[in-house]
Chains A and B, each alone.
Chain A
């Protein structure tokens, strides 16, 4: 099986594609990038609580997948979840307020970076126990079937998560019962220090789908449009009652595993090569090549995304501090 992964640098092939979709994906990817880059700076320069995991370089996966969903479709996320939330339209202000542990945050300051949740947007939660979101999304798919809601449920998880038992158990049930679930392996090639080849006997992760009798698709995860199209096909299948799909999106974690983790286990040339395959730049180049947008237009969107994050930070700074006893209201749900 192939372990060698080709690094694609070519512009996204945008010819004849929907300009509105492409520009929206571009904007969302920029927001996700800027959100994390500003957050990183805040962690360096201020007393931010907790920790964070950046998905810099992986934005095309989150944005491409979610762009193929309806607003009421549901997703589960992981410890590396900011981009999933941005893509799913979780308000940036509330996300940022959560990072600051403020009352107005998405989770009222109770969850933090690793547990972002927004039910009004179909964002069922970020689960920081690796692999634990997989059966939970599958349950949301089962619920969609029982309620006959027409929704699909998507689970985002990493290449490391496929080695948890939850992956096997959930995918089997989803396929057994034809549930409207989509599994996105965000293969950024590392689980902390471990490469895919060091942790999976079969490094072609999409191929695992055949064990569950479901389609398995490998896609260029730094090409937002390719991710979008693969997901759209999976969504059609799911909504038609034909069951789940496993999608492996190949991408790369440009930063360390977590805030300030130096990732010394990776060759510098490898990191540099992937920096040159940036998903945002590839989409920008593709749109320009196809005459969908001018450099000026794209720069304007870049400026808008930067301002949106500046505003989110300004908002978070003015929000109210969590009071020490706020949590008492959230231990169990009572009428």
Chain B
């Protein structure tokens, strides 16, 4: 099978859906002529034309609203944010409008909308580094999807496009591969410098709400998404040399969350570490800890360990950024803590 990187896999998923379904349209800054700041939409303008691929002005609130309006009236709209940090410019449209329209209309209106773009800390300072998914997990009416591999990315983007709800589709800059700013250096402690992997050519959908066990193990469960999933796998490798068997779970979507797969793993390992690149306080990991306590409390032999970014805007200096963002050694230390508790 041919190998694809993450950006190419997302691109292929979008193209196949656009070929199959004339109602799918795409909009965002520099997505057409330029092919997207991270090349995800490369050549789509040529194939689908300017009626389906819209190069927008820098108007996030506006074009998000356009996406919603189009979605309400028969389109399936994919809206790209050049960096997910900029979705905050469109908070009203996403949070007050897109997420609430279905309920407010008593189920009459549907908003099949994909909001996608890259996030993650790559040395760009506080306004280009955030991990934003928790804001939208906190927004009922939306789904939140996070692919960590090219295979998952293609199957999940296809499901996101086919879904009848607003879906936040979170990509990580460092997982795009060689094209990503910051490049290989930040990945030197993971196995993903070359992130290409086998991706089937035909379209396939991975259901939202289906977690994937990326590595099976018995002694401790680590739950992680995006870049952190790869750091967790690196920890699993390290610990296996010491005779410790780690199970690594990738939720793939946080809303809906596959609690069953997580609970089954914890019933086996009785020890769990949750990892996320977003801010610790009121963040993804905090929510996962609470969910695990709700569902798995009597299976736990030690308090759940939470590893997440420091409660700070992300500082520019590389040493400081590194201190804020969870590293392999932080995840490893948490696994060792939960094993020795």
Q: A residues within 8 A CB of B310? A: 327
* Cβ A326 vs Cβ B57 within 8 A: no
Which residues from 32 to 63 on chain A have a C-beta closer than 8 Å to any C-beta of chain B?
49-51
A180 and B278 CA atoms in complex are apart in Å by 40
A-B contact pairs, 9 of them (CB 8 A): A101-B316, A111-B126, A131-B89, A165-B59, A194-B33, A199-B56, A265-B33, A327-B320, A327-B324
- Closest approach, in angstroms, between the C-beta of A113 and any C-beta of chain B? 8
User: Any chain A CB within 8 A of the CB of B241?
Assistant: no
A107 and B128 CA atoms in complex are apart in Å by 17
- Closest approach, in angstroms, between the C-beta of B313 and any C-beta of chain A? 7
User: Any chain A CB within 8 A of the CB of B204?
Assistant: no
Contact A192-B37, Cβ < 8 Å, known A165-B62, A324-B323: yes
New contact pairs (20) apart from A115-B125, A163-B59, A321-B317, CB-CB < 8 Å:
A49-B318, A50-B124, A51-B124, A101-B318, A109-B316, A110-B316, A110-B317, A112-B125, A128-B128, A130-B58, A194-B30, A194-B34, A199-B57, A199-B58, A265-B34, A324-B319, A324-B323, A327-B312, A331-B312, A331-B313
* Cβ A107 vs Cβ B30 within 8 A: no
Taking beta carbons and an 8 Å cutoff, which residues of B are in contact with A?
29-30, 33-34, 37, 55-62, 85-86, 88-89, 123-128, 181, 310-313, 315-320, 322-324
* Cβ A164 vs Cβ B320 within 8 A: no
Interface size grouping (class) on chain A: 35 or more
A334 and B216 CA atoms in complex are apart in Å by 47
User: Any chain B CB within 8 A of the CB of A290?
Assistant: no
Contact A324-B320, Cβ < 8 Å, known A193-B30, A265-B34, A331-B313: yes
User: Any chain B CB within 8 A of the CB of A311?
Assistant: no
Q: B residues within 8 A CB of A333? A: none
A101 and B322 CA atoms in complex are apart in Å by 13
Look across to chain A and name the residue whose beta carbon is closest to the beta carbon of B127: A128
A321 and B316 CA atoms in complex are apart in Å by 12
User: Any chain B CB within 8 A of the CB of A5?
Assistant: no
* Cβ B30 vs Cβ A326 within 8 A: no
Look across to chain A and name the residue whose beta carbon is closest to the beta carbon of B90: A165
Among candidates B127, B318, B324, residue contacting A129 with C-beta atoms closer than 8 Å? B127
* Cβ B323 vs Cβ A192 within 8 A: no
A321 and B34 CA atoms in complex are apart in Å by 38
- Closest approach, in angstroms, between the C-beta of A66 and any C-beta of chain B? 24
A129 and B85 CA atoms in complex are apart in Å by 8
Look across to chain A and name the residue whose beta carbon is closest to the beta carbon of B33: A193
Find the residue from B29, B58, B310, B324 having the highest chain A CB count within 10 A. Answer: B58
Q: B residues within 8 A CB of A131? A: 58, 89
User: Any chain B CB within 8 A of the CB of A288?
Assistant: no
A331 and B37 CA atoms in complex are apart in Å by 31
Q: B residues within 8 A CB of A112? A: 123-125, 316-317
Which residues from 123 to 172 on chain A have a C-beta closer than 8 Å to any C-beta of chain B?
127-131, 160-161, 163-165
A115 and B313 CA atoms in complex are apart in Å by 13
* Cβ A110 vs Cβ B37 within 8 A: no
A101 and B316 CA atoms in complex are apart in Å by 7
Among candidates A109, A111, A127, A164, residue contacting B59 with C-beta atoms closer than 8 Å? A164
- Closest approach, in angstroms, between the C-beta of A2 and any C-beta of chain B? 19
Taking beta carbons and an 8 Å cutoff, which residues of A are in contact with B?
49-51, 101, 107, 109-115, 127-131, 160-161, 163-165, 191-194, 198-200, 265, 321-328, 330-331
Q: A residues within 8 A CB of B125? A: 50, 111-115, 128
* Cβ B58 vs Cβ A114 within 8 A: no
Q: B residues within 8 A CB of A160? A: 57-58
- Closest approach, in angstroms, between the C-beta of A165 and any C-beta of chain B? 5
Q: A residues within 8 A CB of B128? A: 114, 128
The 6 closest A-B pairs by CB, nearest first: A112-B316, A322-B317, A193-B34, A163-B57, A324-B323, A199-B57
Contact A322-B33, Cβ < 8 Å, known A128-B125, A163-B59, A194-B57: no
Contact A115-B181, Cβ < 8 Å, known A49-B316, A193-B33: no
Look across to chain A and name the residue whose beta carbon is closest to the beta carbon of B63: A163
Among candidates B34, B62, B126, B316, residue contacting A192 with C-beta atoms closer than 8 Å? B34
* Cβ B37 vs Cβ A49 within 8 A: no
* Cβ A331 vs Cβ B311 within 8 A: yes
A193 and B36 CA atoms in complex are apart in Å by 10
* Cβ A328 vs Cβ B33 within 8 A: no
A129 and B61 CA atoms in complex are apart in Å by 13
* Cβ B316 vs Cβ A115 within 8 A: yes
Look across to chain B and name the residue whose beta carbon is closest to the beta carbon of A324: B323
Contact A50-B59, Cβ < 8 Å, known A109-B317, A327-B315: no
* Cβ A164 vs Cβ B89 within 8 A: yes
* Cβ A50 vs Cβ B316 within 8 A: yes
Find the residue from B59, B62, B128, B317 having the highest chain A CB count within 10 A. Answer: B317
* Cβ A194 vs Cβ B316 within 8 A: no
Find the residue from A115, A200, A324, A330 having the highest chain B CB count within 10 A. Answer: A324
* Cβ B317 vs Cβ A49 within 8 A: yes
Among candidates A111, A163, A322, A324, residue contacting B58 with C-beta atoms closer than 8 Å? A163
* Cβ A114 vs Cβ B312 within 8 A: no
* Cβ B127 vs Cβ A114 within 8 A: yes
Contact A192-B30, Cβ < 8 Å, known A129-B85, A129-B127, A328-B312: yes
A198 and B33 CA atoms in complex are apart in Å by 11
A21 and B318 CA atoms in complex are apart in Å by 40
* Cβ B323 vs Cβ A325 within 8 A: yes
Q: A residues within 8 A CB of B58? A: 130-131, 160-161, 163-164, 191, 199
A165 and B86 CA atoms in complex are apart in Å by 13
Q: B residues within 8 A CB of A130? A: 58, 86
- Closest approach, in angstroms, between the C-beta of A76 and any C-beta of chain B? 14
Among candidates A129, A192, A325, A331, residue contacting B29 with C-beta atoms closer than 8 Å? A192
Among candidates A50, A192, A324, A325, residue contacting B123 with C-beta atoms closer than 8 Å? A50
A112 and B121 CA atoms in complex are apart in Å by 14
* Cβ A129 vs Cβ B86 within 8 A: yes
Look across to chain A and name the residue whose beta carbon is closest to the beta carbon of B311: A331
